[in-house]
């Protein structure tokens, strides 16, 4: 009887261990697969021309996506201008000033906003900006991406502010600092690196968004000077080129995917580096 | 069960309190202080005179209200939500609730149980108080920082690395940095909330030595778990139990001839 139990336990142990192992392998393997596949296909047609030239007309080979790279950069810049102040200050309010009820409502709304499908955010920006202006623009796309950033910016800023030990606040206030002064001179500086990391990861997340741009910045095969005209962006170009019936366009879509992924990875790694430099905040 | 014996006469008038102190002036006086966390009453009718340029220690078991009482003396308890205070605290005869809170906290400095240096340089930590209170030119600030670090017996150890992070210091040094930070605004009273509870005996001895030297320039109130520490550093000792000040007298009387049974039980280690 006893040996039966032991055998059973060993079998269950082996089965469960392999099951969890296989699942982990699938999770990690997916990323490795995507990365290597994108690398192999993307690098093949990645060249100087791709990074510096405009797209060529249909039928001509060569050309690049310089306008989409610059377009994406401009859109992300606008997204930061819109998303960071609102997200950060909202996070400060949530962490420092909101009462129990307000805090609950704020958390709930930011969670819901975060769950709104990105295409709906796109339609929102379309209604708010594109319709009254009667044309697509970089501005509208940037606002749409900025709105996408807000919920996570609020929550991550609030979390990093709350992680600052209360003893630091008390220390500042015991020296005669007001609550606001303590917040500005001690708490926010202590949370600064964490907040920046949260914002960078957030930015990397919206960098790949396609749906909100379809109705807002639309696309453009040429340069888009200023903020008032439709612009190309990497994710939209990937979509357009991938569904087109031309082989060299498919190649360029791979390269665009690779460039986008490289940018996102660079941002991610920067964010991790900043976070790892975070001062040893006493807990 | 012993606690019950100790509680028997809890509402008797406090012993030892009517003894006059001939040489020192009264720096802080609390009258009939009640303090509530929500509906829980943490302090019951505390009245006490803290004498200037003396070290006053508060002892008592955990949760007896000694830290809560300490924090009413610089209005730190106001930051606790849904707390309420009754009674008066006077600093040099002035009601501290009629003064600006920043003035109270500048005049009554505080050092906490766990050292809490800011994530800034050593210099910036000490300069924080003067900066917040908005006084001093740049060179005056440097002098203040040096003076404060000297008073906290830390200058020799850190003068070459003032711009290093405060976290590069050892635990004992961090606590002395916090004392220097509190001294930088030249407080009249220094409240120490179990300042040595996280320190080893050597670091503790250094802080006690410091307390001894600081009482020339300020009044010191220290909360401690450690009765030997109270006996070593304090001129006066108050014994707290369940939110009441049971006995307050010279340290010698408290430890050698306590007037109340509860005090005797506690200082002889029969409970607590």
β-pair partners for B94: B91
Distance CA A221, CA A229 (A): 12
Domain range holding A167?
63-276
Question: Which of A176, A183, A278 best probes binding to B when mutated, by most B CB atoms within 10 angstroms?
Answer: A176
Integer CA distances (angstroms), A7 to A11, A12, A204, B242, in order: 6, 9, 49, 58
Mean pLDDT of B50-64: 93
- Answer whether B119 sits within 8 Å of A176, measured CB to CB: no
The pLDDT, as a whole number, for residue A280 is 45
For testing contact with chain A, the best of B79, B102, B119, B136 (most A CBs within 10 A):
B119
- Per-residue pLDDT at B2: 44
Other CB atoms closer than 10 Å to residue A191's CB: what's the count?
Answer: 26
Scanning the structure block, which residue is given the tokens 């924090």?
Answer: B71
Residue B163, Cα to own-chain centre: how many angstroms? 29
Token pair for residue B29?
């006086």
* Closest chain A CA to residue B74: A174
Residue A56 lies in a domain: no
CATH number of the domain residue A124 falls in: 1.10.3720.10
- In a domain, residue A30? The reply is no
Question: B41 CB contacts (<8 Å, ≥6 apart)?
Answer: B34, B35, B243
| DSSP-derived pairing of the beta strands B83-91 and B55-59 | unpaired
Residue B19 clears pLDDT 60, i.e. is over it: no
Kind plus residue range of the DSSP H or E element containing B164 = none
Inspect the interface and report whether the beta carbons of A174 and B128 lie closer than 8 Å.
no
In tens, the pLDDT along B116-171 reads 999 999 999 999 999 998 877 888 899 999 999 999 989 999 999 999 999 999 99
β-sheet bridge partners, residue B244: B241
pLDDT, tens only, B78-127: 888 889 999 999 999 999 999 999 999 999 999 999 999 999 999 999 99
Chain B CB within 8 Å of residue A183 CB: no
Among candidates B110, B119, B120 on the partner chain, residue whose Cβ is nearest the Cβ of A174: B110
Contact B112 A172 (CB under 8 A): no
Closest chain A residue to the Cα of B101, Cα to Cα: A176
A186 touches chain B (CB under 8 A): yes
Do B74 and A174 count as a contact with CB atoms less than 8 A apart? yes
- The pLDDT score that the predictor gives to residue B23 is 54
- Parts of chain A with a pLDDT under 50: 280-283
CA distance B138 to chain A (A): 18
Dihedral sign, Cα of residue B252, residue B257, residue B261, residue B266 = positive
Q: Is residue B162 part of a domain?
A: no
Closest CA to B9 of B227, B241, B237, B270: B241
Tokens of B119: 């994530």
Catalogue the E-assigned strands of chain B.
26-37, 40-51, 55-59, 83-91, 94-95, 108-111, 189-193, 219-223, 236-241, 244-250
Q: How far apart are CA B209 and CA B58, in angstroms?
A: 18
Asked if A173's CB is within 8 angstroms of B105's CB, the reply is yes
The total domain count for chain A is 1
Compute the distance between CA of residue A228 and CA of residue A223 in angstroms, rounded to an integer.
12
Domain count, chain B: 1
Extract the tokens encoding A157.
Answer: 């800023």
A interface mutation test: which of B74, B104, B118 has the most A CBs within 10 A? B118
A104 lies in some domain = yes
Q: Is A180 on the interface with B (CB under 8 A)?
A: no
Here the tokens at position B96 are 């501290």
* CB atoms B105 and A176 under 8 Å: yes
Distance CA A16, CA A24 (A): 12
Entry field: residues in chain B: 272
Q: How open is the CA angle B138-B158-A163, to the nearest 5 degrees?
A: 85
Strand, coil or helix: what is B213?
helix
- Look at residue A224 and tell me if it is in a domain: yes
Over range B169-174, report the average pLDDT.
92
The pTM assigned to this predicted structure is 0.82
Tell me what pLDDT residue A170 has.
92
**Residue B149, in any domain of the structure:** no
* Chains A & B: contacts with CB separation below 8 Å: 73
Distance, CA of A84 to CA of B191 (rounded, Å)? 41
- Structure-block tokens of residue B253: 């009387």
A184 chain-B contacts, CB cut-off 8 A: none
Tokens of A146: 């900025």
Predicted confidence band at B4 (pLDDT cuts at 50, 70, 90)? very low
Residue A62, phi-psi category: left (phi > 0), alpha (psi -120 to 50), beta (remainder) = left
Residue B104's CB is within 10 A of a number of other CB atoms, namely: 22
Please tell me the distance in Å from A44's CA to the nearest CA on chain B: 48
Q: Which chain A residues have a beta carbon less than 8 Å from that of B128?
A: 172, 175, 177, 185-186
Residues ≥6 apart with Cβ < 8 Å to B241:
B6, B7, B10, B60, B61, B64, B262, B266
- The pairing of strands B40-51 and B26-37 is antiparallel
A236: left (phi over 0), alpha (psi -120 to 50) or beta: alpha
**Which of A174, A189, A283 should be substituted to probe chain B, the one whose Cβ sees the most B Cβ atoms within 10 Å?**
A174
Residue B151 placed within a domain: no
Give domain status of residue B180, yes or no. Answer: no
Closest Cβ opposite residue A175 in set B115, B132, B167: B132
The strands making up B94-95's β-sheet, listed across from edge to edge, are: B40-51, B26-37, B83-91, B94-95
Q: Does A245 touch chain B (CB under 8 A)?
A: no
A185 contacts in chain B (CB < 8 Å): 128, 132
For residue A46, being part of any structural domain is answered with no
Is the alpha carbon torsion for B72, B74, B79, B84 positive or negative?
positive
To the nearest whole number, what is the mean pLDDT of chain B? Answer: 88
Distance from the Cα of B36 to chain A's closest Cα (Å) equals 20
d(CA B53, CA B190): 10
Coil vs helix vs strand at B29:
strand
Closest CA to B53 of B187, B183, B206, B214: B214
- The answer to whether the CB of A234 falls within 8 A of the CB of A65 is yes
- Is there a domain that residue B11 lies in? yes
Model pLDDT for residues B215-254, shown as the tens digit of each residue: 899 999 999 988 889 999 999 999 999 999 999 999 999 9
| pLDDT value at residue B188 | 94
- Of B45, B137, B147, which Cα lies nearest the Cα of B87? B45
Q: Provide the CATH number for the domain around residue B105.
A: 3.40.50.300
pLDDT at residue B13, as a whole number: 53
Residue B5 pLDDT exceeds 60: no
Range of the domain at B200: 2-119+188-267
Residue B268 confidence (pLDDT) = 87
DSSP B184-235: TT--SEEEEESTTTTS-HHHHHHHHHHHHHHTTTSEEEEE-S-HHHHHHH-S
> Greatest CA span in chain B, whole angstroms?
61
Domain assignment present for A217: yes
Walk across the sheet containing B108-111 and list its strands.
Answer: B108-111, B189-193, B219-223, B55-59, B236-241, B244-250
At B10 the pLDDT is: 53
Residue of B nearest to A282 (CA): B116
């Amino acid at each position: 009887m006893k040996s039966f139990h032991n055998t059973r336990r060993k079998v269950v142990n082996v089965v469960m261990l392999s099951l969890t192992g296989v699942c982990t392998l699938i999770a990690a393997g997916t990323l490795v697969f995507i990365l290597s596949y994108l690398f192999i296909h993307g690098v093949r047609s990645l060249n100087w021309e791709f990074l510096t030239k405009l797209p060529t007309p249909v039928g001509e080979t060569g050309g690049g996506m310089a306008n989409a790279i610059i377009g994406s950069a401009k859109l992300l810049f606008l997204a930061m201008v819109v998303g960071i102040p609102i997200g950060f200050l909202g996070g400060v309010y949530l962490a420092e000033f909101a009462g129990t009820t307000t805090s609950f409502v704020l958390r709930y709304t930011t969670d819901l906003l975060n769950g709104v499908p990105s295409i709906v955010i796109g339609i929102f920006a379309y209604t708010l900006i594109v319709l009254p202006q009667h044309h697509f623009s970089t501005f509208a796309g940037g606002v749409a991406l900025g709105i996408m950033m807000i919920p996570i910016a609020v929550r991550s800023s609030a979390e990093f502010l709350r992680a600052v030990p209360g003893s630091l606040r008390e220390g500042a206030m015991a020296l005669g600092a007001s609550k606001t002064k303590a917040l500005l001179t001690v708490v926010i500086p202590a949370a600064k690196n964490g907040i920046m990391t949260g914002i960078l990861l957030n930015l990397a997340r919206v960098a790949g968004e396609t749906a909100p741009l379809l109705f807002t910045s639309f696309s453009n095969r040429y340069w888009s000077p200023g903020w008032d005209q439709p612009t190309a962006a990497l994710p939209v170009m990937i979509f357009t080129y991938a569904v087109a019936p031309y082989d060299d366009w498919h190649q360029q879509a791979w390269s665009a995917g690779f460039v986008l992924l490289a940018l996102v990875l660079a941002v991610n790694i920067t964010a991790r580096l900043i976070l790892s430099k975070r001062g040893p905040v006493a807990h | 069960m012993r606690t019950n014996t100790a509680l028997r006469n809890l509402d008797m008038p406090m012993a030892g309190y009517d003894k006059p102190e001939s040489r020192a002036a009264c720096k802080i006086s609390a009258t009939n202080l009640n303090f509530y966390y929500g509906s829980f009453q943490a302090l019951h009718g505390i009245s006490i005179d803290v004498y200037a340029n003396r070290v006053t220690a508060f002892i008592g078991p955990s949760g007896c209200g000694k830290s809560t009482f300490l924090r009413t003396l610089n209005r730190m308890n106001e930051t606790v939500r849904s707390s309420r205070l009754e009674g008066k605290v006077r600093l040099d005869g002035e009601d501290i609730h009629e003064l600006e809170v920043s003035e109270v906290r500048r005049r009554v400095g505080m050092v906490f149980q766990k050292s809490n240096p800011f994530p800034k340089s050593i210099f910036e930590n000490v300069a924080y108080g003067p900066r917040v209170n908005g006084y001093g030119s740049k060179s005056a600030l440097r002098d203040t920082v040096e003076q404060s670090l000297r008073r906290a017996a830390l200058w020799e150890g850190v003068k070459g690395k003032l711009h290093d992070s405060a976290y590069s210091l050892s635990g004992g040094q961090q606590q002395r940095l916090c004392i220097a930070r509190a001294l930088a605004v030249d407080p009249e009273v220094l409240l120490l909330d179990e300042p040595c509870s996280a320190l080893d005996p050597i670091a503790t001895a250094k802080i006690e030595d410091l307390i001894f030297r600081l009482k020339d320039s300020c009044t010191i109130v220290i909360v401690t778990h450690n009765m030997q520490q109270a006996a070593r550093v304090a001129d006066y000792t108050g014994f707290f139990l369940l939110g009441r000040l049971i006995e307050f007298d010279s340290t010698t009387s408290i430890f050698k001839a306590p007037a109340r049974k509860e005090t005797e039980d506690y200082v002889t280690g029969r409970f607590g």
